[in-house]
Structure 1
């Protein structure tokens, strides 16, 4: 594990919900689920890390044009959704891109001053032979990938290969599985080491019960990744899934209805009984 030097201070972590999808069933979330036709909504987040004047954004969401193209409306523009935290899109100079799927990298253009932190494996995947297959290409949008390439040619991409430190108390870890270069983010908080799983675990049920998500390029990497997430966190309660509506129930409210503060830790006991309510 990487060792951090310098002053040891904790980060504030906020989950910012900008969209949701209610018309989903459990078959959309889990492979081999017995209750496959039961409703299973999901929410869409970006995450803001803040320590004093330092700000790091994790993922960018997607904009209204992408929402209309995919028929998946958003409730808030992801850039505007940061306003209750006192952050404008122009303030953001560092973005950790967990992977290049449309709902995580579809707003890159909204943050013009940002340098991107990306796994080299993800750029290779999104621009390589795997994109010849419709089913693997489906979660990507060419314009978003091209924006990442434009940022690269402007000298504003930092590539990582596996595990790396982005800032003191913030590290990234390549998980793969759902996308070839998917990375999770480990953050030191007042509650301990927290892991923002992004799509390494869409829901608590994925990681707690080892139930894989259907969109997958490498199933073994996905399953192994569940254990990696738990190993990286101080406790499995501090593994925060990327799309689970339970996050907003379990953690304290932030400064607006769509903002949840994560760094104090969950305010309710997490157990599998919650997953099927």
Structure 2
């Protein structure tokens, strides 16, 4: 089964290069994007990869202590612009459960939610340094994804989710990070979540600046080097959102 991949852009902000590429000297501004992906097959099946971040309006209204895009873009409204009712989305596959990838779950009420078992375990009881990354903020009454916990199905390791869609473990950014491999008419595309934040991580073979397990990241890199792709689409690279769709 082949899919088309529609990048859903939630805007950008300026970050320092050391936030995006490991151990780079402070002082270079880079544009850092936020977003998710909508997958469509020829029969109309609708799947999301990640569900994006809260809108800037929500962050300001509720006082979340988060760095957000400069633009006020609502994920659900962007999905609707593709002619898709969020209630028709049947599945969301999470690369990992950080707040900027796993918000808006309540807006997709009929979706089965897929994550690695290792990621769910780490996200339920994160280390203190990672609590905000997983959305544990008093202002938000906990992570958005946690409010939809009954809809989650955990997977273990590299598995086929559906014909044409499979996941592979790529830890490093988080212990349970997975990348989603999607069959398209033009070949297989990889959606790596935050294991790869931007093209520079691949070009320089350097992890993201906030990578807690650098050794695991390089093990994932060696694993991915053995595979062939039509393209790799980093979620936080603005170039990802310059195409209407891939495949």
Same fold per superposition (TM over 0.5): yes
Q: Is the 8 A contact 2:118 2:156 kept in 1?
A: yes
The equivalent position to 2:132 in structure 1, one of 134, 138, 153, is 138
Q: In the aligned structure 2, how far is the partner of 1:63 from the partner of 1:234?
A: 31
Matched, 1:117 2:136: no
Kept in 2: contact 1:117–1:160 (CA 8 A): yes
User: Match of 2:17?
Assistant: 26
Aligned in 2, Cα 1:26/1:149: closer, same or farther, shift over 3 Å? Answer: closer
Q: Which runs of 4+ in 1 moved over 4 A?
A: 143-147
Q: Which residue number corresponds to residue 199 of structure 1?
A: 194
Match of 1:217, SS state, is coil
CA contact (8 A) 2:135 2:144 kept: no
Per-residue CA shift, 1:203-260, capped at 9, x if unaligned?
Answer: 011122211112223111112222333434435xx111121112234xx3x2xxxxxx
Q: How does 1:11-22 map to 2 (within 5 A)?
A: 11-22=3-14
Q: Secondary structure at the match of 2:192?
A: strand
Say which of 38, 45, 51 aligns to 1:54.
45
Q: C-alpha distance in 2, partners of 1:192/1:175?
A: 20
- Look up the match of 1:38: 28
Is residue 248 from structure 1 mapped to residue 238 from structure 2 by the alignment?
no
Using structure 2 for the length normalisation, give the TM-score: 0.88
Inter-CA distance 84–148: structure 2 relative to 1 (3 Å threshold): closer
User: Alpha-carbon deviation of 1:57?
Assistant: 0.4
Q: State the shift of 1:107 in Å.
A: 1.4
- Are 1:105 and 1:144, in contact at CA under 8 Å, matched by a contact in 2? no
Shift of 1:101: 0.4
CA pair 198-146 structure 1, distance change in 2 beyond 3 A:
closer
Structure 1 residues 12 and 210 mapped into 2: Cα distance closer, same or farther (>3 Å)? same
CA distance in 2, matches of 1:239, 1:228: 14
Q: Tell me, what secondary structure is at the counterpart of 1:241?
A: coil
Whether the 8 Å CA contact 1:186–1:232 is kept in 2: the answer is no
Q: Give the TM-score normalised by the residue count of structure 1.
A: 0.79
Give secondary structure in 1 for the equivalent of 2:81. Answer: helix
Contact 1:12 1:50 in 2 (8 A): yes
Give the number of aligned pairs. 237
Q: Is the 8 A contact 1:193 1:232 kept in 2?
A: no
The structural deviation recorded for 1:147 is 4.7
Q: Is the counterpart of residue 84 in structure 1 residue 81 in structure 2?
A: yes
Mapped to 2, the partners of 1:144 and 1:59 lie a distance apart of 20
User: In 2 relative to 1, CA 210–77 (structure 1 residues): closer, same or farther, beyond 3 Å?
Assistant: same
Q: Does 1:97 align with 2:94?
A: yes
Q: Counterparts of 1:144 and 1:112 in 2: how far apart (Å)?
A: 19
CA contact (8 A) 1:61 1:104 kept: yes
Which structure ranks higher in relative contact order (CA pairs < 8 Å, sequence separation ≥ 6)? 2
RMSD of aligned alpha carbons = 2.0
